[in-house]
Structure 1
Amino acid sequence: MLQNILVFDIETIADIDAYRALNGGLTELDDGDVYRLMASERLSEAGSTFMRHHLHKIVAISAVMKTASGELKVWSLGDEESSEYELINRFFQGIDRFSPTLVSWNGGGFDLPVLQYRALFHGINARRYFEIGDDERDFRYNNYLARFHWRHIDMMDVLSGFQPRAVASLDDIAKLCGFPGKLDVDGSAVQQLWDEGNVADIRNYCETDVLNTYLVYLRFEVLRGNLDKTACDQAIQEVQTFLNNSDKAHFQAFLHAWMARQR
């Protein structure tokens, strides 16, 4: 790998303030009542309580960074007290600084549209992300916005052959590759964790998701012919060493689940 790789994932909650703004304030209702109204309306509209993209508020962004120089880092942007503005601004500043290859699972269908809407609402500069070759020729035929370019790789999209009927979950694909998959939390629990004030568990969950995505990406690079099996095995071992050397409980749980699956 001769370029910077940034695997990313976001976690979101329903944006109650945005819903209030679009519906006359709803000052007679508390936040819980507004959320239930949102959820009921969305369920009636779409058969699911999963909100439309512009009504998601980002509460965590996690990443695996593999630098061109070989450094491996896993972290969540900002801290538990960081505002949404700070999280999103840090994300786009990282793109400005490192010009990484972005890697995601369903990032084209969810994460990036949400990030774009929220950056728009906050007035955040994302110049390099939106570069398509007007100022930098290298971006003309390989940029972050074009679906069939490689500067952002949405593996769910690519592996399904860009066919919605063929998509699979990250959890399934990670497990079928021999990786841990989801542990004891999934995206449906984020709203409740947020309501309970448990931001740490949201960030921890997001970090295990990007680890799964990175591990699947290593296999994907074998599929593309960019890594041979030996190089892939070495990169996977590097992740295991990173986890083994960490004293963070969620990383140890991830490693334990991984070892159990391999047995």
Structure 2
Amino acid sequence: MQNVLVFDIETVPDVAGGRRTHGIELADDAGVAELLQHQRRIETQGATEFLRPYLHRVVAISALWWQGGQVKLSSFGKVDDDEAALVTAFFQFIQRHAPQLVSWNGAAFDLPVLHYRALLHGIPAARYWEHGEQDQNYRWNNYTSRYHERHLDLMDVLSAYQARNVARLQDIALLLGLPGKLGMSGAEVWTHYQAGELAGIRHYCEVDVLNTALVHLRFELTRGHLDRSAYDVCQTRLRSYLQGRDEAHVQEFLTLWPENLHVASQAHS
């Protein structure tokens, strides 16, 4: 795997932005978030309370970076960094390294959120927005065009770009025998954030990244970008790397990730 960044973000309601855009004068953040969600339910006739991307505030960005024979799992910035620092670090990484981005539902959620937050904070991201004006290599393959692969949204591609076919990462991870989510769900991030559990949110985000990375490896196998031997090498390399990490969430993921998963898949080939 050459220069691939599998990423995920975690967000909470942007209560400050909600106050400005909706003219809300409540002082209580939880009350503002509840009101924003209530208004969203009204707007969608009860279909969802999930806020539009511009009203999400980023509290964690995690990634797994494949660079040649090396792999690294981390979260951008420090645990107590503000949103501007996290978003800046993400786009600076792209500016320096120009990786292929890989996500699950990143085109519909993660990247639009990051677009709006970069706009809010005035964060430059020249390489990310490059469409060939300065670098011709980006004319036919850039980060923001849906059918290009500088950003590969696995959910979008696997659903054949049809909304009726989309699936949750959790369901696909479990379908493939992967550990799935650990510790919390996305719906619980706001509660954990209010409790000051930022480290736990970052750990949860990193687990989502690990699941996405393993789905990505399987996808690269099925479309012929990895043969069976290379696929197994990548899994072994990732497992070996994670075994050298002592964090509880990483060790729990390892415990639940079957070592013979790739062997079982071979038996049916």
TM-score for the superposition, normalised by structure 1: 0.95
Mapped pair 1:10 → 2:9? yes
Amino acid in the other structure paired with 1:160: S
Which residue is 1:63 aligned to? 63
Indicate whether 1:96 and 2:95 are aligned: yes
Aligned partner of 1:197 in structure 2 is 196
Instruction: Trace 1:122-137 onto structure 2 (pairs within 5 A).
Output: 122-137=121-136
The aligned amino acid for 1:211 is L
1:222 maps to: 221
Aligned counterpart, 1:34:
32
Q: Which residue of 2 aligns with 1:48?
A: 48
Other-structure match for 2:267: none
Query: CA 1:29/1:83 → structure 2, altered by over 3 Å: closer, same or farther?
Result: closer
SS in structure 2 at match of 1:227 = coil
Alignment of 1:95-174 (within 5 A): 95-174=94-173
Deviations 1:153-200 (A, max 9, x none): 000000000000001111111122221111231111100000000001
CA contact (8 A) 1:180 1:261 kept: no
Is the 8 Å Cα contact of residues 64 and 73 (structure 1) preserved in structure 2?
yes
SS of residue in 2 equivalent to 1:259 = coil
Which amino acid in the other structure matches residue 143 of structure 1? Answer: N
Amino acid at match of 1:228: D
Change (3 A) 1:177 1:114: same
Q: Which residue pairs with 1:213 in the alignment?
A: 212
On the 8 A contact 1:100/1:151 being kept in 2, the answer is yes
The one-character-per-residue Cα deviations of 1:106-164 (angstroms, maximum 9, x if unpaired) are 00000000000000000000100000111101101110011001111000000000000
- The 3-state SS of whatever aligns with 1:60 is strand
> Match of 2:65, as an amino acid?
M
Give the aligned residue type for 1:71.
Q
CA RMSD of aligned residues (A): 1.5
Task: Give unmatched runs, 5+ long, in structure 1.
Answer: none
> Does the 8 Å CA contact 1:179/1:261 hold for their aligned counterparts?
no
CA distance in 2, matches of 1:225, 1:158: 15
Give 1:82's aligned residue: 81
Which residue pairs with 2:239 in the alignment? 240
Task: Judge conservation of contact 1:178–1:261 (CA < 8 Å) in 2.
Answer: no
Residue in 2 aligned with 1:180? 179
Find runs of 4+ consecutive structure 1 residues off by over 6 angstroms.
Answer: none
Once residues 7 and 260 of structure 1 are traced to their aligned partners in structure 2, the CA distance between those partners, rounded to angstroms, is 22
The separation in 1 between residues aligned to 2:43 and 2:144, in whole angstroms, is: 29
> Secondary structure, in 3 states, of the residue corresponding to 2:128?
coil
Distance 2:142 2:202 in 1: 28
Give, in whole Å, the separation in 2 of the partners of 1:194 and 1:221. Answer: 35
3-state SS in 1 of match to 2:250: helix
Total equivalences in the alignment: 260
Cα distance in 1, alignment partners of residues 259 and 189 from structure 2:
26
Q: What is the DSSP-based 3-state SS (H/G/I as helix, E as strand, rest coil) of the residue aligned with 1:120?
A: helix
- Give aligned-pair identity as a percent: 48
Q: Aligned to 1:129, what secondary structure does the other structure show?
A: helix
